[in-house]
Structure 1
Amino acid sequence: VQVVAYAILPSETVIANSADFSTEQCFSHKVSLEFSPTSAVPGEETIMQVTTQPESLCGVSAVDQSVLIKEPGKTLDADKIFQLLPVKKISYIPYDVQDDVECLHVRPRRYVMPYRHGGGTADAYTVFQNVGMKMATNMVIREPSCLKYKGREYYQGHHGYGVGLRYNSVPTIARMEVMTARGSAGAAAAPYMPSPDKSPIETVRTFFPETWIWDLVEVGESGTKDVSLTVPDTITTWETEAFCLSPQGFGLAPRKNITVFQPFFLELSLPYSIIRGEHFELKATTFNYLTSCIMVTVTPTPS
């Protein structure tokens, strides 16, 4: 946020200053997403509740967290949305709308500026220009860049005023900007050199999905929508993402997780190969992540 403060003194001198303040990037359209229960076992039924403005259309997704760890930075957040705005901060006035400044006629024993120059303080005109504001006033808000004294013109430089020549074309700074822009355009027109081809690494997954939810949810007049879902068989953490559109604008929900875990299961250790008639030892390992101890009996069935 850019804030400008200015004051007009009794001497008709205008003083001004500006400051930038960082604010939290948020949306007026509030969206939330919850799971009940927040943790489940594979194949269990769960309820996903979306809360938003009435008559909203929401996009909801749930992706395996391991996929997002391998490819970070591909999630949607408020920073990416605000980066899409065409104007985020204005710090200049286009040259073609700036006012021409005539040389100020001065007399002996008279101060040129409405205040003594020093300390690096910018005049009011510069303060307004740095936030993209153009002022229309008859007050003295701009420090003159040219003085006319006894028929001679003096132009302001880094070390004060000195005799110089009047601009007959675009100022040097503007010409430098034009040349820089042309140079950039020439660089952009250089032939494109493709990078060496890299064969993509593909991970074959035959049964367990990497994306569980990828759907649109319509929310009615109540502003709440319950969706019944079946948890996949993957033992993982699913990371959800939801955004909604309504007449009130765009809304983004905080990210929520639902953990899928099997607290008790049996794992068989099988040999990589056997032949007919061979006797081998079959190892069965039980994993218990319950909060209490239980008695387990493992009995193989005839085969």
Structure 2
Amino acid sequence: GTFQLTFPVEAAIAPLARMLVYTTSPSGEVIASSADFQVESCLPNKVRLSFVPKEGLPTSNTRLQLHTSPRSLCALRAVDKSVLLMKPEDELSPSSVYDLLPLKEIQGYSFKEYYLEEDNINPCVSLDNILLNGFVYIPISPDGEGDAYDILKELGLKVFTSSKIHKPEICQHYPGHMMERSYSSSIAALTLLEDLDYEITEHMVAGNPVETVRKYFPETWIWDIVSVNSEGNADLDVTIPDTITEWKANAFCTSADTGFGLSPTVSLRAFQPFFVELT
């Protein structure tokens, strides 16, 4: 027969969910199977970040808008695009966050030098031919096949039970009708942003355009910690540096209610228009 199981897929079971299904027969034998499910590395605290506007002139003003779970504490970062091109492995992502977990799955019974295997204490069985109603039945050796014990071991589960979780061991026949158990398995064993003096010198001459001296060319533009309000919003008014580049910004937030969250990386393009007039 067949049946279906339905279970919710949530961030709490990411990045790997392992399911064990078993039943115990009237004779005490345990029949089991397992399956692994890869779960997308998503985070429960949803964070959205955006620049308004998404383009601007050097030294002009822009606004960084943040939305996340109410009363979250968020860390903001905006760096020159070239910084991420030189070290793309330093970019935060849900996968890199999950890779920091000390333990993502348990497997086997290995722990330091300790022997944690369980010996099969059930008596071995002999593979003798069976004569029934004039027919000879030849048993098939189960060597090489798994059992419930192997499945539990693969999941890293220790079970205290009187049920039969080991498959029968085959007795080996030796001269003198001695029997010995056959064992086929072996022992498994920011940076902080430096304060920069930012000074713009403007010379206003009647009838002449404004002349600006560009001096502020940081690699890290924004490095700040912001608390959001009870509605989950926070705005940060900033001035675009003098660098003609594309700025990459992201944020991660922590909340007592929804936990950790990470925003997608957003961009702001700083540009300077040039005009050429032929006379």
Q: So what's the TM-score if we normalise by structure 2? A: 0.70
Fraction of identical pairs, as percent: 38
Change in 2 beyond 3 A, CA 1:141/1:2 = same
SS of the aligned residue for 1:254 comes to: coil
Aligned to 1:138: 162
For the pair 1:232 / 2:232, whether they are aligned, the reply is: no
Measured after TM superposition, the shift of residue 87 of structure 1 is: 1.0
SS of the aligned residue for 2:96 comes to: helix
The superposition leaves residues 175-224 of structure 1 with CA deviations (integer Å, 9 ceiling, x where unpaired) of xx5xxxxxxxxxxxxxxxxxxxxxxxxxxx96311111011111121210
Q: Which amino acid is the alignment partner of residue 182 of structure 2?
A: Y
For the pair 1:212 / 2:212, whether they are aligned, the reply is: no
The superposition leaves residues 13-55 of structure 1 with CA deviations (integer Å, 9 ceiling, x where unpaired) of 3222222222110111111111111122222211111111122
SS of the aligned residue for 1:28 comes to: coil
Q: Which amino acid is the alignment partner of residue 244 of structure 1?
A: C
Aligned to 1:102: 121
For the pair 1:34 / 2:34, whether they are aligned, the reply is: no
Aligned to 1:251: 261
Q: Which amino acid is the alignment partner of residue 255 of structure 2?
A: S
Aligned-residue RMSD, C-alpha: 3.0
* Residue 62 (structure 1) aligned to one of 72, 78, 82: 78
- Does the Cα contact within 8 Å between 2:124 and 2:181 map onto a contact in 1? no
**Structure 2: which 5+ residue stretches go unaligned?**
1-16, 131-138, 190-213
SS of the aligned residue for 1:135 comes to: coil
Aligned mates of 1:119, 1:100 — CA distance in 2? 16
For the pair 1:89 / 2:105, whether they are aligned, the reply is: yes
SS of the aligned residue for 2:274 comes to: strand
Structure number, greater radius of gyration: 1
Measured after TM superposition, the shift of residue 76 of structure 1 is: 1.1
Matches within 5 A, 1:251-270: 251-262=261-272, 264-266=273-275
Aligned mates of 1:32, 1:119 — CA distance in 2? 56
Matches within 5 A, 1:129-208: 129-145=153-169, 147=171, 152-157=179-184, 173=187, 207-208=216-217
The superposition leaves residues 226-261 of structure 1 with CA deviations (integer Å, 9 ceiling, x where unpaired) of 111111121111111210111131111111111112
Aligned to 1:76: 92
Q: Which amino acid is the alignment partner of residue 153 of structure 1?
A: E
Change in 2 beyond 3 A, CA 1:16/1:116 = farther
* Residue 25 (structure 1) aligned to one of 41, 49, 62: 41
- Does the Cα contact within 8 Å between 1:104 and 1:146 map onto a contact in 2? no
SS of the aligned residue for 1:15 comes to: strand
Measured after TM superposition, the shift of residue 58 of structure 1 is: 0.7
The superposition leaves residues 122-142 of structure 1 with CA deviations (integer Å, 9 ceiling, x where unpaired) of 101100110111122222111
Aligned to 1:5: 21
Measured after TM superposition, the shift of residue 9 of structure 1 is: 3.5
Change in 2 beyond 3 A, CA 1:14/1:89 = same
Change in 2 beyond 3 A, CA 1:261/1:173 = same
Q: So what's the TM-score if we normalise by structure 1? A: 0.65
Change in 2 beyond 3 A, CA 1:13/1:154 = closer
Matches within 5 A, 1:282-301: 286=276, 296=277
Aligned mates of 2:83, 2:127 — CA distance in 1? 77
